[in-house]
Amino acid sequence: MIDAGELRTRTRALLEAHPPATTDRADFLKARFDAGLAWVHYPEGLGGLGAPRSLQAVVDAELEAAGAPDNDPRRIGIGLGMAAPTVLGFGTEEQKQRFLRPLWTGEEVWCQLFSEPGAGSDLAALGTRAVRDAESGDWVVNGQKVWTSSAHTARWAILIARTDPDLPKHRGITYFVCDMTDPGVEVRPLRQITGEAEFNEVFLTDVRVPDAHRLGEVGEGWKVAQTTLMNERVSIGGMRIPREGGMIGPVAKAWRDRPELRTHDLHQRLLKLWVDAEVARLTGERLRQQLVAGQPGPEGSGMKLGFARLNQEISGLEVELLGEEGLLYDDWTMRRPELVDFVGREAGYRYLRSKGNSIEGGTSEVLLNIVAERVLGLPAEPRTDKDVAWKDLAR
């Protein structure tokens, strides 16, 4: 088993062969992947060395100290946090070799074609259809997806589509990788309450997906999607941030810098939210440590739920603290950002943007059900559609 000392030796050898000061950024990242130092817990040949996940910090510290470039993980978060573990878990060897290297280096951006206008909170009710072409073996996909981050910059998408409407809704779904540059894929901006459009609608019209781009077995897509969804919630709820690095930071700074805004009531509420933010930050750290030991569990759903509630409470308090100044928001410029900036810009923007936190990555209502049933072990809600064919469900 590779230990920390061996990883330091390998990292220093990489730096010696490819000095960051004189090596092209993309070339350095490719060399790092090929050396197995991208994600050390992945298998050899796929950017890793089969080492314990916890040792990634050893590599990262050496590279940071040397001023080596990173792969801008925020820009490619969907690929790293959701597509990669799914491809690793369910992809063929050819798929792993094809997709993982350009995904990690950021040469190819990924998006997630899951949510639909008629199936968001109840994702398993999705209606996008994939029908097998008997002659070519390709899948022909038709449907509409919504709330798709990064679709306007993505080369690839992870896609779930219904392949057998005669089965109940959680069955008869199949998981694919979709080429976003293929004919029939149309991306339209979805403008939000903030004025910008980081999300998209994606229309799929007779899009041909080769069977070689199927992940997992036909009809087993819901099982594959669970891996993606659990990793998604860990990515959102378990982000690593320093103390006061999230929404609480600007509010605490305003409190310190502007004593004229203070009241006793606001002090009590700020104190409680500051403690809540610190609890959330440390709980996220524990979640990441659990992740080191294995696959993410349903605890990630609880973290994502808490993240949404806390952001909305803090941004609401900030607007109250700033009074009329907190209500100012007059920049409705249509932007197409590549990154979600929860904390940047002014208080009014933060207040409006935080409303989306309870929808994106699974609605709070769905996550409450997951926490109730899978974490607390409470009885499941009655489900009248459990054994009913999808085509017979009321819509």
Alpha-carbon dihedral 352, 353, 355, 361, rounded to 10 degrees = 170
Q: Which of 219, 246, 262 is the last residue of a domain?
A: 219
Domains held by the chain: number: 3
386 is a domain residue:
no
Distance CA 12, CA 94 (A): 31
pLDDT score at 238: 59
Do 62 and 45 share a structural domain?
yes
CA distances to 246, 354, 373 from 282, in Å = 13, 21, 24
Distance CA 67, CA 170 (A): 47
- Which residues lie below 8 Å from residue 299, measured CB to CB, with a gap of 6+? 287, 290, 375
Side-chain half-sphere CA neighbours of 170 within 13 A:
6
Nearest Cα neighbor of 366 from 123, 133, 103, 127 is: 123
Q: Which of 116, 196, 198, 232 is catalytic?
A: 232
Pairing of strands 199-209, 185-190: antiparallel
Do 253 and 165 share a structural domain?
no
pLDDT score at 338: 79
90 is a domain residue:
no
Q: Are 318 and 324 in contact (CB under 8 A)?
A: no
213 is a domain residue:
yes
240: its two tokens: 């690593």
Residue 289, judged by CB atoms within 10 A of its CB (0-12, 13-18, 19+), counts as: exposed
Q: Which of 70, 98, 130 is the last residue of a domain?
A: 70
pLDDT tens profile 210-237: 999 999 999 999 999 988 988 777 666 5
Do 238 and 346 share a structural domain?
yes
Distance CA 221, CA 215 (A): 8
44 is a domain residue:
yes
Do 174 and 35 share a structural domain?
no
CATH of the domain at 189: 2.40.110.10
Distance CA 183, CA 199 (A): 21
182 is a domain residue:
yes
Do 271 and 234 share a structural domain?
yes
Do 149 and 42 share a structural domain?
no
Task: Return the residue matching tokens 């959680």.
Answer: 170
Do 212 and 234 share a structural domain?
no
Residues of the chain scoring pLDDT < 70: 234-239, 292-298
Nearest Cα neighbor of 385 from 169, 194, 172 is: 169
Nearest Cα neighbor of 8 from 63, 54, 52 is: 63
220 annotated active-site: no
pLDDT score at 229: 85
Q: What angle do CA 51, 215, 188 make, to 5 degrees?
A: 110
357 is a domain residue:
yes
CA distances to 39, 226, 301, 308, 359 from 366, in Å = 31, 14, 9, 13, 10
Do 236 and 168 share a structural domain?
no
pLDDT score at 371: 86
Do 254 and 190 share a structural domain?
no
CATH of the domain at 327: 1.20.140.10
Distance CA 134, CA 383 (A): 35
Domain extent for 282: 226-376
214: its two tokens: 């199927």
Q: Which of 191, 219, 247 is the last residue of a domain?
A: 219
Do 198 and 253 share a structural domain?
no
Do 256 and 282 share a structural domain?
yes
248: its two tokens: 């609480």
Do 137 and 191 share a structural domain?
yes
Distance CA 196, CA 361 (A): 19
394 is a domain residue:
no
389 is a domain residue:
no
